[in-house]
Amino acid sequence: MDCDKSLSAVVFAAGKGTRMHSPLPKVLQPLLEEPMLRYVLSAADPLCPGRVHTLIGHRADLVRGAFPEREGLFIAQDEQLGTGHALATAWGSLRGNPPEYLLVINGDTPLLEEKTLAAFAGKSIRERRDLSFISLTLRDTGDFGLVLRRDGRVQGIVEAGDFNERIHGPKNGEINAGIYCLRTAAVVPLLPLIGNDNTKGEFYITDLVALAAARGLSVEACNLGDDPRLSGINTPAELSRSEEYLRALIVERHLGNGVLIRAPQSVRIGPAVCIEAGADITGPCEIYGRSRIGAGVRIASHCRLQDTAMEQDADMRSFCHAEQAVIGRGCIVGPYARLRPGSVLEEGAHMGNFVEMKKARLGKGAKANHLSYLGDAEVGEGANIGAGTITCNYDGANKHRTRIGAGAFIGSNTALVAPVDIGNGAVVGAGSVITRAVPADSLGVSRARQRSLPLRIMPASEK
Ligand code: UD1
Ligand code: MG
């Protein structure tokens, strides 16, 4: 669509979402670990960049906090008196710089795609419609607003709770998807005419349709059949269904791009994850956020990655958990490894079972293969961290760093009490508690000398 300055958009995200039974505002409910609202905004942003506003109200602080980059594009609706009131509130803030057309999108339709929205807005503007909205035809019309037509022409929308067959005639299966394109000069004058005399006692945006039709304005319902991408989410069951739909779509897209996904029905991949052709992923498995997976990477079953990069040919074995981590080319991770934020494995490093890392770097080819904690640590190239090594990074008040030089060898069951430095090529004896620097190429050992004493056999009278 040719986007010019005549179009702005507002996404309604002020409602509580009572039917979700959750303390989280509905638009922050995640689908594949991305808040519902992010999907709607990314469909709308390309149409009118910088002019997609978000109406917030219930737990506005949380919504703002989740989208700090959109500061300046929020509009507050302090009381949520319904979608008609939402539109009037938004207009109060937009009228200083009024757009000719306003796209209004319910924040709870996350599967809406940019191309659908662009085609809808483009058509509405080309045909100079005063009010158009997207409708669907569903077998089960649920709680959706029902579209009323006479002789094929749209007459209005009646909310499910207000529908009365005797007054409105039999249901025709056509429902309102909650996405509208308004020619503001024609529609804004109708806003004060919206009342709240309905079962919910709310001001409904949908009343505009009957008001406009009765005045002979050009009203159109753009019917998109039974496209499941357009149904709003109001309940946990609807969220779960939409998430599953999206999950399958994303997995199919990666399969189509040459990613081998085994047991695809149990693989969950976030919408912004990038995976190169030739990666090999086995479900069940979850990959979210801004994760990047290179060609030749293998991810075995039961792994969870969030905002993690795996470079070419890295191998993640089963049951690993990685968050904000970088795993270099050819590394081997797991099984059962945990990479917390700030974990970096340089090329060819190995991190084995029951090893936890946090803000720590394993240098090129370094190995920590068993039962260790490396927190706030630097491990040099080719160093070997023995089983049971712990960096004691926290003294109860502050965190301190451990530096282990290239080629160092840390014996099993060592406690490195930070801040502490182990020099290049140094060796630390097994079972040591190291509290002072070990210079390069020296042996550091701190443990009680072993003694072997004869056992005294106690006489029965002393027992
Ligand atoms: C709405 C429509 C219904 C349509 C359905 C499609 C109305 C009256 N009804 O019903 O015809 O079939 O969407 O999904 O509009 N919101 C605010 N401020 C408010 C009230 C709501 O921002 O004061 C927001 C909500 O956060 C939500 C959106 O508006 O994102 C829609 O509200 P919701 O309560 O979900 O309306 P539905 O009952 O789904
Ligand atoms: Mg809804």
Q: Give the CATH number, domain containing residue 110.
A: 3.90.550.10
Structure tokens at 78: 């302090």
Q: What is the pLDDT averaged over residues 25-42?
A: 97
Counting residues of the chain whose pLDDT is more than 90, the rounded percentage is: 95
Tell me the pairing of strands 131-137 and 174-183. antiparallel
| Domain endpoint, select from 230, 253, 279 | 230
Q: Is residue 420 part of a domain?
A: yes
Catalytic residue among 168, 350, 370, 400: 370
Asked whether residue 132 falls in the same domain as residue 60, the answer is: yes
* Model confidence pLDDT, tens digit, residues 239-260: 999 999 999 999 999 999 999 9
- pLDDT at position 153: 96
Task: Output the pLDDT for position 2.
Answer: 47
What mean pLDDT comes out for the span 330-345?
98
- Which residues lie closer than 8 Å to 67 by C-beta, 6 or more apart? 37, 38, 41, 54
% of the chain with per-residue pLDDT over 70: 98
Q: Find residue 360's DSSP bridge partners.
A: 343, 377
Residues with CB under 5 A from ligand 2 (ion): 108, 232, 234
Asked whether residue 380 falls in the same domain as residue 432, the answer is yes
Q: 246 in a domain, yes or no?
A: yes
pTM score, two decimals? 0.93
Is residue 92 one of the residues assigned to a domain? yes
Q: Considering every ligand atom, which ligand is closest to the CA of 143?
A: 1
| 461 assigned to some structural domain | no
69 with 187, same domain? Answer: yes
Last residue of a domain, one of 200, 230, 260: 230
Q: How far is the CA of 231 from the centre of ligand 2 (A)?
A: 9
- Tell me if 450 is assigned to some domain: no
pLDDT band at 32 (very low <50, low <70, confident <90, very high): very high
- Look at residue 147 and tell me whether its pLDDT is greater than 50: yes
Known catalytic residue at 321: no
2 occurs within a structural domain: no
Is the pLDDT at 1 greater than 80? The verdict is no
Contact residues of ligand 1, CB 6 A cut-off: 12-15, 26, 55, 57, 77, 80-83, 85-86, 106-108, 143-145, 157, 159, 175-178, 204-206, 232, 234
68 and 192 fall within a common domain: yes
pLDDT at 5: 67
287 with 372, same domain: the answer is yes
Domain containing 22 equals 7-230
- Domain final position from 230, 253, 287: 230
Task: Say if residue 182 is exposed, middle or buried (CB neighbours under 10 Å; 0-12, 13-18, 19+).
Answer: buried
Measure 12 CA to ligand 2 centroid, in angstroms. Answer: 10
Cα 128 from chain centroid (whole Å): 37
Q: Is 217 exposed, middle or buried (0-12, 13-18, 19+ CB in 10 A)?
A: middle
Q: How many CB atoms lie within 10 A of CB 240?
A: 12
Q: In terms of domains, do 216 and 278 share one?
A: no
Give the total number of structural domains in the chain. Answer: 2
Q: Can you give the CATH number for the domain in which 360 is found?
A: 2.160.10.10
Q: pLDDT category, 218, cuts 50, 70, 90?
A: very high
Atom of ligand 1 minimally distant from the CA of 175: 12
What single-letter DSSP state applies at residue 47? G
Q: Are residues 125 and 264 in the same domain?
A: no
Q: Ligand nearest 179 Cα, by number?
A: 1
pLDDT tens track for 383-429: 999 999 999 999 999 999 999 999 999 999 999 999 999 999 999 99
pLDDT 10s digits, 425-463: 999 999 999 999 999 999 999 999 999 999 887 777 766
End-to-end CA distance of the chain: 95
pLDDT tens-place string over residues 162-189: 999 999 999 999 999 999 999 999 999 9
- Mean pLDDT across 30-34: 98
Residue 106 alpha carbon to ligand 1 centre in Å? 6
Query: Quick check: 231 pLDDT over 60?
Result: yes
